[in-house]
Amino acid sequence: MGLLDFLSRKSPLEKHAERVANKRTQNPDRWESIQALGKLATTAPAGGKPDERAAAVAALLARFTFYVDPTITDGEEKDEAFRWICEAGETAMEPIRAALRRQESLSWGLKCLEQVVTPERFVEELLALLESMSVEYERDPQRKLQVLGTLEEKRHARIAPAVVPFFTAVNEEARFHAFGAALAQENVAAVRAELLEALVEEDSIRVKSRVLGALAELGWEVPEAVELPDGWARDKKGHVRKKGG
């Protein structure tokens, strides 16, 4: 072996990271590399060796960025990468954060994050991610929709105030989930003024009907400025209900 060959040799981490990130790698080879990276991610270095655990987690996270045939193989590989990442625990935090900032789909990253932190910290991480997102038009709003959709399922005092800017997002689906996330919270009354103001401007019947249904259950008065869609009625006290309901 010549000097150049020696200098160009990849470390085990680099070799396995390249395999896992390449959809054209043979399935058995990629599986072998997932195992190798998993062991690196969950084993503390000894004998003065560099700590490669975070880098190994980052390499495993790359497996979530593509799909391979057959479906069963794709699922098995992703499940195995997920298992190793979760086993890495706190070590996985920074690589997961980095992946959530750049990957197009957040599904697996959020799934990993939820397993390695407390429920409260998970919400805090979601809100930090949401804060970096825009209410303006985006060609592909999926990242934003995934975060807002996940927040709908959580309960935390900070959620309702955090989603207020998205009541008037350009994307209808974002508004749908933002209203839903706020209305699911026990402290939704804290953003009552902002919610009703946004409802006045809302032009989507789908979104407006969802919000009105929740407000009917809450017993809130709905201002006359809110135009009701067909099928809705307002009583003398300003409460709304579905006609015939």
Going from N- to C-terminal start, the domains of the chain cover: 8-42+51-117
CA distances from 175 to 18, 186, 201 (A): 39, 19, 12
104: amino acid identity, one letter: E
Q: How many residues does the chain have?
A: 245
Of residues 119, 35, 11, 30, the one with CA closest to residue 69: 30
Strands (E), the chain: 232-234, 240-242
pLDDT of residue 245: 63
Which residue shows structure tokens 């959530």? 100
Residue with tokens 């933002």: 178
- Whether 7 shows a pLDDT value over 70: the answer reads no
Could you report the per-residue pLDDT of 107-139, keeping only the tens digit for each? 999 999 999 999 999 999 999 999 999 999 999
Average pLDDT over residues 53-67: 98
- Give me the chain's average pLDDT, please: 95
The CA distance from 113 to 227, in Å, is 41
The model's confidence at residue 243, banded by pLDDT at 50, 70 and 90, is: confident
Residue 4: its pLDDT value, please?
44
pLDDT number for residue 244:
75
- At residue 218 the predicted structure's pLDDT band, cuts being 50, 70 and 90, is very high
Which pTM value belongs to this model? 0.90
Q: Is residue 131 classed as helix, strand or coil in its secondary structure?
A: helix
Least confident of 19-23, 86-90, 152-156, 240-244: 240-244
What local confidence, expressed as pLDDT, does residue 90 receive? 94
Alpha-carbon separation of residue 245 from 122, 130, 207, 217 (angstroms): 38, 37, 19, 12
Spatial contact of 188 and 215, defined as CB atoms under 8 Å apart: no
| Cα separation, 67 vs 78, whole angstroms | 9
Output Rg (C-alpha) for the chain, integer angstroms.
24
Please say if the pLDDT value at position 150 is more than 50: yes
**DSSP-based three-state secondary structure for 107:** helix
Asked if residues 145 and 174 have their Cβ atoms less than 8 Å apart, the reply is: yes
